[in-house]
Structure 1
Amino acid sequence: MSQLNWRKSTFSENQANCVEIAAAPDGIRMRESDEPDAVIHTTPAALGVLIGAIKAGRLDHTL
């Protein structure tokens, strides 16, 4: 996976615990910056649904 161009938000440029994403020939890869070997695979469409749900607050839960 070292050949992928991993990117994270400029809002978290100097922060730890950031989600990084990379485009791969067969989809999107995501990982947490503190666990770079734990990589998940998704599609652009599924990532778009996740981002939409986050922006809409549908994943906000109070305990």
Structure 2
Amino acid sequence: MGTAKESRSRRAAWFKATFSDNGGGCVEVALGEDGVAVRDSKDPEGPVLYFSDEEWGAFLAGVYAGEFDLR
């Protein structure tokens, strides 16, 4: 049996990432009251990663700063 957070994420409004159609790297995110959930759009019943708002903000700041190879 899953946690309440997992149950909420299954019902959440998921959004596909802008660059997901560029060769199979498909990611979806769902914004929640206590953070952000991330999953593989090709496996919506599979595992979900959860990030606090602070963790998600740090990740986005790194993306915008060019800290990751996005090729």
Normalised-by-shorter TM-score class:
0.5 to 0.7
Pick one of 29, 32, 36 that aligns with 1:24: 32
Tell me which protein shows more strand as a share of its residues: 1
Q: What's the counterpart of residue 50 of structure 1?
A: 59
Task: In structure 1, list runs of 5 or more residues that go unmatched.
Answer: none
What is the Cα-based RMSD across aligned positions, in Å?
A: 1.9
Aligned-residue identity in percent: 33
Return the TM-score normalized by structure 2.
0.62
Return the TM-score normalized by structure 1.
0.68
4+ residue runs of structure 1 moved beyond 4 angstroms? Answer: none
In structure 1, what residue type is equivalent to 2:52? T
Give the aligned length. Answer: 58
